[in-house]
Amino acid sequence: MHSFDKAEYDVRVDRVRARMAQQGFDLLITCNPANMNYLTGYDGWSFYTPQIVAVSQQEDEPICIVRGIDRAGGFVTTHLSEENMLGYPDHYVQAEDIHPMDWIGGLLVERGLGKGRVAVDMDAYYYSARAHAALEAAMPDATFVDAANLVNWVRVVKSPKEIAYMREAAKLVELAMQAGIDAIEPGTRQCDAVADIYNAQIRGTDDFGGEYTSIVPMLPTGVGTTTPHLTWNSEPFQHGEATILELAGCRMRYHCPMSRTVHLGPPPTRMAEIAEVAVEALNVAVESMRPGVTCEEVHAAWNRVVSRHGIVKDSRMGYSIGLNYPPDWGEHTLSIRPGDTTALMAGMTIHVMPGIWLDNWGIEISEGVLVTDTGAERLCNFPQGLVVKD
């Protein structure tokens, strides 16, 4: 059940420890399920109760602490020894007067890890305000500092094995996108198209199936295309309306997203024009990517094309992707937007996603991209233009 050899996890933990040393962190505690998986292999839909991985400068092996009933899942999915794969008692779950972080903090103190500078991901999804308060109270001799997504930043450059999973995820999203495009017809219910998408995304190929993606299929349609994050309902698609498909494939929790836009019947002239501009600008952006180029330079390359056509976009147009859990497949590190001076490095994987949302409709055409030693490579091989179905 292991996604990687123990040696790969050891390298990751060493990298995290080296960054911790640079920043003077004695202990790092992360609640981010992707970080937990990255450091130990721990996998399971158990992040709805508090759980952590702790990396210490004093111990070689990370400590993983989950709800008691999930501990056996750690034995199945991680290489950790029994004493470092721990579970807290069930009466701590969703209780008014006690919190799992009481127990977790107490355990870390017992293990001699309750002192010094303790870094936590202050903005991680599953690290609630109450979790933080409870952990601080349970570790009174520690000085808490924001880890500022330290592990996320280590994750940003992928290993060859990780890239192999990303390529498999790309294959899965190609299948899902084709299934979605095939299904969208006037009179077909949105839910039926989504059933076809899930079927392709999960059934996958003869060699491997897919897993749940960190964001569900999104397919805003009609006026819904003015906004990116509506999901589906049971209404039929309409002739004369556009539908945006934003999908991903997921393999071993690695994601490759892709967006395309479908129009039922002849599209408005302006929509067809903007779709052409969107494809051109997307490809100019991808062609601008190589090690050393900054994120804001990629945005500028894209912007030079679209601004010639009177398009202004103030939301970001890309972000790092890879290993993840709901609710987001983005890694919360680099963003393709003005002001982000992160330099690209070989092995980064990025969703170049320049959605254009106007008052009455929108267009999304996006690509998952791998930064190589000399440039950038699209992970998927799928036609890019506005899909017009008559």
Q: Could you say which residues in the range 340-359 bind a second copy, by CB under 8 A?
A: 355, 357
Q: Tokens standing for 338?
A: 């003005």
Q: Distance between CA 65 and CA 42 in Å, rounded?
A: 10
Q: Does 190 bind a second copy (CB under 8 A)?
A: yes
Buried b (16+ CB within 10 A) or exposed e, 93-115: beeeeebbbbbbbebbbebebbe
Stretch binding a second copy (CB under 8 A), from 11-19, 157-165, 200-208, 289-297:
200-208
131/289 with CB nearer a second copy: 131
Q: Distance between CA 103 and CA 216 in Å, rounded?
A: 34
What CA–CA distances, in Å, run from 244 to 121, 180, 219, 270, 316?
Answer: 33, 10, 5, 16, 18
Q: Could you say which residues in the range 291-320 bind a second copy, by CB under 8 A?
A: 314-316, 319
Q: Does 79 bind a second copy (CB under 8 A)?
A: no
Q: Single out the residue of 29, 35, 44, 371 in contact with a second copy (rule: CB under 8 A).
A: 44
Query: CB count, 10 Å around CB of 90?
Result: 12
Considering the complex, what minimum distance in angstroms separates the CB of residue 272 from a second copy? Answer: 22
Q: Does 77 bind a second copy (CB under 8 A)?
A: yes
Q: Could you say which residues in the range 2-41 bind a second copy, by CB under 8 A?
A: none
Q: Could you say which residues in the range 117-176 bind a second copy, by CB under 8 A?
A: 120, 122-133, 146, 148
13/329 with CB nearer a second copy: 329
Q: Tokens standing for 118?
A: 């303790």
Nearest-CA neighbor of 339 among 291, 300, 381? 300
CB 117 within 8 A of CB 29: no
CB 137 within 8 A of CB 78: no
Q: Does 116 bind a second copy (CB under 8 A)?
A: no
Stretch binding a second copy (CB under 8 A), from 52-60, 156-164, 205-213, 370-378:
205-213
Q: Does 180 bind a second copy (CB under 8 A)?
A: no
39/131 with CB nearer a second copy: 131
Q: Tokens standing for 150?
A: 């330290």
Q: Distance between CA 22 and CA 36 in Å, rounded?
A: 21
13/349 with CB nearer a second copy: 349
Q: Single out the residue of 56, 259, 335, 384 in contact with a second copy (rule: CB under 8 A).
A: 335
Q: Could you say which residues in the range 232-251 bind a second copy, by CB under 8 A?
A: 232-234
Q: Does 361 bind a second copy (CB under 8 A)?
A: no
